Amino acid sequence: MSTIVVTGTNTDVGKTMAVAALARLLADAGFTVTCVKPAQTGEPAGSGDMVTVTRLSGITDTHEFARYPEPLAPNQSASRAGMTQLDFDDTIARIAALDSGDDTVVLVEGAGGLLVRIADDWTIRDVARRLDAPLVVVTSTGLGSLNLAELTVTAARDAKVTVAGLVGGSVPTDPDLATHLNLTEFEVVTGCPLLGCLPEGAGQLERSEFAAMAAESFDTAALLAALGLAPATGPTPGE
């Protein structure tokens, strides 16, 4: 099994879109893909990040371990609702139990940024460190994004977490000067490859359109190499 952790430089930077795109690309490359959101906050029944991942990617093997009512950091939302916070060791065990074979990839989506508290005593960075999982950082692309991306990558590396690369989460159709410059500077300031960029409005695409967009936005071979994944040995889709 390979586990990949996806975090953001902040909230609302396109993290769920990136998870959906990675899930679709990995499935098309022959992997069995499972997506996990340990803690979902602020969404009514029938909606949420894993619902969005399924709608866009077609991946139906998704898991959510806890759901808290208010759109806050999970530890705060749980505490305000009088609900039990997720236990770290149990969460790690549940993710590890999703292993279903050598060609399985488990994508774990955090909440907000790297150091957002899932519970009072742990963050998604701790998950990546415990599972020795590569981290994909989804970043905004406009003014101020270089600082946020470098801070996130530095915080990950300080904890001995390997950063596989960055994903631009929502690039406008008509990017401004700061965005144009940032797209070339991300690799310079972070030392990480920019794996791909998703266009603004990707979440509004139909499933087939989203799959085509993902294929155009990433070099799948380079993506697999960055994630440390050998080509899947199972049958490719359609065989």
Span 132-149, pLDDT tens digits? 999 999 999 999 999 999
Question: 187: annotated binding-site residue?
Answer: no
Question: 38: annotated binding-site residue?
Answer: no
Question: 16: annotated binding-site residue?
Answer: yes
Q: Which two tokens stand for residue 185?
A: 């500077």
Neighbours of 139 (CB within 10 A): 31
Determine the Cα–Cα distance for residues 186 and 43; give it in Å rounded to an integer: 32
Determine the Cα–Cα distance for residues 61 and 63; give it in Å rounded to an integer: 7
Average pLDDT over residues 190-208: 97
pLDDT at 191: 98
pLDDT at 99: 80
Active site residues: 37
Which positions ≥6 away from 154 have C-beta within 8 Å? none
pTM of the model: 0.95
Give residue 204's identity as a one-letter amino acid code: Q
Question: Superfamily for 2-227?
Answer: P-loop containing nucleotide triphosphate hydrolases (3.40.50.300)
Beta bridge partners of 197: 168
The pLDDT of residue 100 is above 70? yes
Note whether 42 and 143 are within 8 A (CB): no
Distances (CA, A) of 232 to 27, 104, 105, 155, 237: 10, 9, 10, 32, 11
Average pLDDT over residues 1-7: 92
Question: 111: annotated binding-site residue?
Answer: yes
Could you read off the pLDDT of 53-73 as tens digits, one per residue?
999 999 999 999 999 999 999
